[in-house]
């Protein structure tokens, strides 16, 4: 898969999260993330933590 379409609300949520994360990163003297970099991090973590229960429900957990 080369492209992933996301809803406008999801894009806005990622943007807001990136703003908050970048404030923290800058305070720590680190480089800020682009929204797309944050989206990749979130997707990788979600994939790593994804579980499917006996009813077929997909959840994100530890």
| Domains identified in the chain, total number | 1
Radius of gyration of the chain from its Cα atoms, rounded to whole angstroms:
14
Contact partners, residue 43, CB within 8 Å, separation at least 6: none
1 assigned to some structural domain: no
Q: Dihedral angle at the C-alpha atoms of 22, 16, 11, 35, nearest 10 degrees?
A: -10
Query: Along the chain (62 residues), what's the average pLDDT of each consecutive run of 10 residues?
Result: 88 96 98 95 96 95 81
Query: What pLDDT sits at residue 29?
Result: 98
Query: What pLDDT sits at residue 61?
Result: 87
Return d(Cα 2, Cα 61) in angstroms, integer: 26
2 assigned to some structural domain: no
- Give the domain extent around 29: 8-60
Query: What pLDDT sits at residue 42?
Result: 95
pTM attached to this predicted model: 0.81
3 assigned to some structural domain: no
38 assigned to some structural domain: yes
Q: Looking at the chain, how many residues does it have?
A: 62
49 assigned to some structural domain: yes
CB 38 within 8 Å of CB 14: yes
């Amino acid at each position: 898969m080369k492209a992933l379409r996301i809803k406008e609300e999801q894009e806005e949520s990622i943007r807001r999260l990136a703003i908050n994360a970048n404030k923290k990163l800058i305070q720590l003297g680190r480089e800020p993330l682009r929204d797309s970099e944050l989206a990749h991090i979130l997707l990788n973590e979600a994939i790593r933590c994804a579980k499917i229960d006996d009813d077929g429900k997909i959840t994100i957990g530890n």
